[in-house]
Structure 1
């Protein structure tokens, strides 16, 4: 039996779950700006209590590795690594976009088109990838500036579901009868459960000392404007 603590902080959603053999048994999540630093450890304590297990009973820690918010990913990964060091547990890293696509497929098991998870990356840029209905990656994870010509080839012969907080701002730009937008929350640690279990069974573990989030783009520091 494998019991895994799962952490997702790649967007404005702070989400923690516990799974046993790929099935979610406890979940705590909230969507709000800038809550990860203050809420993540509290959410972890809550799900541990909900699941009625001890930290020693965990078999691994799984974390959504990105792409996504620089600050959110940094907090999530540093917390996961800290737990791994303290508990001497292995670390599992799950691609955030794949986790989102997996969540959609879990809720729509008969879906037969293409899936395009999107994470808002400011202005008209998104972090995205394209998956088929078997969760195979059709287009690799990348940063993309979306305009009216985006995804034209994919939409010619395929029903494409766009999901995530980046999809909302693209709704008015992508115009095709084959384009469908689903704005529910797919940044949930519960959608990591079967993926983390599969990784655990295959011993796909990260080097805790050297693992870094998948930021995709370098973080840009901005200088506040001087007051006149």
Structure 2
């Protein structure tokens, strides 16, 4: 059994799989809910299934890219469980998990998937995955303009999804082969499905040294003063 954790965006979710089969999952779609609610979601999962965490074979976590704070909370929780339970850690790329979710729908044959996570202004974190689930273009931070994906869209259909997709839609929707899928969000259910594949391959992380895949350095904003200057 694998416990999976997803905290890369506003969605905070957990799931439990047994040999790749989903047993249960819980999710909250609340901004900045991870620190307050992640532990309670795991407890809810335990109670729902009368689960003893010592029964787990591994802990899986969405490694990013995504929210700096969200990723930190998810990875810290996963590593803490691994240390306490002496279980291996599995990391899954957040965008790959999103593409896995999109592929569960009836898609146009041979269409590629471009999951997008919102970054700053017209920038997104994205990757390209083919209809078989193979990565064709690795994760990158990309500024979207009217010429983005021009060559690819001249050759094949591409399905854009994720919370970064809406702000790019107006620039890309006039392309005949550009398709848009709503409601695809990072979720622990997809993380767990991919984690089972990695578990079978023995693709485990070094718990002591593993860090989230931030992709870009964190830039802290200057806090606003609550005291009016005299």
Shorter-chain TM range is over 0.9
In 2, the alpha carbon distance for the partners of 1:221 and 1:91 equals 29
What residue in structure 1 maps to residue 146 of structure 2?
148
1:192 partnered with 2:197: no
SS at structure 2 position matched to 1:172: helix
1:69-108 residue pairs with structure 2 within 5 A? 69-108=67-106
**Residues 124 and 145 of structure 1 are in contact (CA less than 8 Å); yes or no, is this contact kept in structure 2?**
yes
Q: 2 CA distance for matches of 1:94 and 1:34?
A: 21
Contact 2:11–2:185 (8 Å) recurs in 1: no
User: SS state of the match for residue 122, structure 1?
Assistant: coil
Partner of 1:182: 181
Tell me the residue number matched to 1:211. Answer: 210
| Contact 1:18-1:51 within 8 A present in 2 as well | no
The answer (yes or no) to whether the contact 2:3–2:59 under 8 Å persists in 1 is yes
Q: Give the Å deviation of 1:107.
A: 2.7
Q: In structure 1, what is the Cα distance between the partners aligned to 2:98 and 2:106?
A: 12
> Which blocks of at least 5 consecutive residues in structure 1 are unaligned?
none
Q: Distance in 2 between matches of 1:51 and 1:172?
A: 45
Q: Take 2:48 and 2:23, find their aligned partners in 1: how far apart are those partners?
A: 9
The residue matched to 1:127 in structure 2 has which SS? strand
Q: Counterpart of 1:116 in 2: which secondary structure?
A: strand
Moved more, 100-109 or 210-219: 100-109
Farther-moved stretch of structure 1 (99-108 vs 67-76): 99-108
| Corresponding residue for residue 222 of structure 1 | 221
Structure 2 unpaired stretches of 5+:
none
The structural deviation recorded for 1:106 is: 2.0
Task: Kindly indicate whether the alpha-carbon contact (under 8 Å) linking 2:45 and 2:51 is maintained by their aligned counterparts in 1.
Answer: no
Is this contact kept in 1: 2:127–2:140, CA < 8 A? yes
**Residue 202 of structure 1, CA deviation:** 1.1
**Within the alignment, does 1:161 sit opposite 2:159 as a pair?**
yes
Instruction: Answer whether contact 2:101 2:184 (CA < 8 A) is retained.
Output: no
Match of 1:12 in 2: 10
Q: Decide whether the 8 Å contact of 1:164 with 1:184 is kept in 2.
A: yes
Q: Is the 8 A contact 2:34 2:70 kept in 1?
A: yes
Q: Could you say what secondary structure the match of 2:80 adopts?
A: helix
Question: What secondary structure is seen at the aligned counterpart in 2 of 1:117?
Answer: strand
